[in-house]
Amino acid sequence: MEDNEKTEEQLINEIAKLRQQITELKESEIKRKKAEEDLKKNQQEFASLFKSTPEALIYVDEKGKILDINAQFTKLFGYTLEEIKGKNADSGLILSRKMIDEGKKLNQKSSKGFCKL
């Protein structure tokens, strides 16, 4: 049916549906912006905690490649981020092979539940 053949009631219904869709899009956009703001806030909090903690920390990707380190890490191990970024954390650069193997065993145990050290 062409637009000029639609009844007034059909056109009113179509307009109501379009208004509803517009409202839903606006609500979706508001939720998306809120989620982005929350994510940004969480990222800033994580970065602040990561950088300011008194413990030596290393941030790696899912393959173990070093993405970031904090100042305490540099103090303890002597490496700057530029020196080790992109290298594998389990390559023996930081810890001995024995300690790496021990850590992997503890990770396996802890992934199964409670682990007594």
Instruction: State how far the Cα of 21 lies from the Cα of 27, in Å rounded to an integer.
Output: 10
Section 45-64 average pLDDT: 93
Domain housing 69: 54-117
Instruction: State how far the Cα of 3 lies from the Cα of 11, in Å rounded to an integer.
Output: 8
Calculated CA dihedral for residues 15, 20, 24, 29, nearest 10 degrees: 40
23 with 44, same domain?
A: yes
pTM: 0.61
3 with 58, same domain?
A: no
Give tens-digit pLDDT for 4-51: 688 999 999 999 999 999 999 999 999 999 999 999 999 999 999 999
82 with 46, same domain?
A: no
Nearest Cα residue to 59 out of 86, 96, 83, 92: 86
93 with 117, same domain?
A: yes
